[in-house]
Each structure stands twice: as C-alpha cells, then as structure tokens.
Amino acid sequence: MENNSCIRQQADIDQINRCKEAVSELNETFDYLANGLSLVGNNVRLKILYLLFEEKKLCVCDLSDILGMNISAISQHLRKMKDRNLLQTERDAQTIFYSLTPKYSTLLNPFFEILDKNKVLETI
C-alpha cells in the first residue's frame, strides 16, 4: 500500500474507528453476500434466475435453447448457483430440473418485479 499520504486533517477519527470495527465484524458476511450478488450480477445468470422465477422450473437443455447458448456453458452457470444455494435441483428420469430456492426467490423478488414491469430505466 503506497499512496496513503492522505491522513486527512479534518478526518473524524471516531467515525473512522467505528467504521473499521463494523467492517471487521461483518467481514465474512460481506464476502458471502458479495459472492452471492456477483452471481446475480451476470447477464446470463440473471436471465436464468428470472426465467426460473417466471417458469418455476427448467432444465439445462431448455435454458440452452432459450438463451441460444452452449449447454456446457449453461451447466457451468447452474452449478455455480446451485453451489451457492441460489438454485435447487429435482430429477425426472434423465432430465434435471432447476428451480430457485425459496430464500433467494424472496430476496431477489424486487429485481424480478423491475424486470416484470420492464421499468428499469425509470427505476434505476
């Protein structure tokens, strides 16, 4: 760390310390939450999540067809999201259906609503 010449004259030391403490206390939480949000913050994965929100369940093959993408690519996205508990699976013979876990369905609802109404440009 170099460029740290700036220990501000009028910095609020109490504020700085309070913040440092908060960050240190919440550290793993930040990591965990940021990781979850980074999964949602991808073009393809956001589409998958939205489609699952709308259609309840879909298989890799459906998603591959819908998004015009390689099955392998989709499968890798699904795996990441399943590993992080955004998605769950259910097998029906050879076909594996993916769906949103209830927790994330709830948490991401505001974003799906925005997409549903296609009102992002006004809202965000």
Partner DNA sequence: TTTATATTTCAGCATTTGCTTAAATAAGAA
Partner DNA sequence: TTCTTATTTAAGCAAATGCTGAAATATAAA
Q: At its nearest, how many Å lie between its own copies and the CB of residue 87?
A: 13
Q: Is 31 in the site for its own copies (CB under 8 A)?
A: yes
Q: Nearer to DNA by C-beta: 79 or 103?
A: 79
Question: What span, in angstroms and rounded, lies between the C-alpha atoms of 40 and 52?
Answer: 13
Contact partner, 103, from its own copies, DNA, none, Cβ < 5-8 Å per class: its own copies
Contact partner, 113, from its own copies, DNA, none, Cβ < 5-8 Å per class: none
Side by side, the strands of the sheet bearing 58-59 are: 58-59, 95-100, 87-92
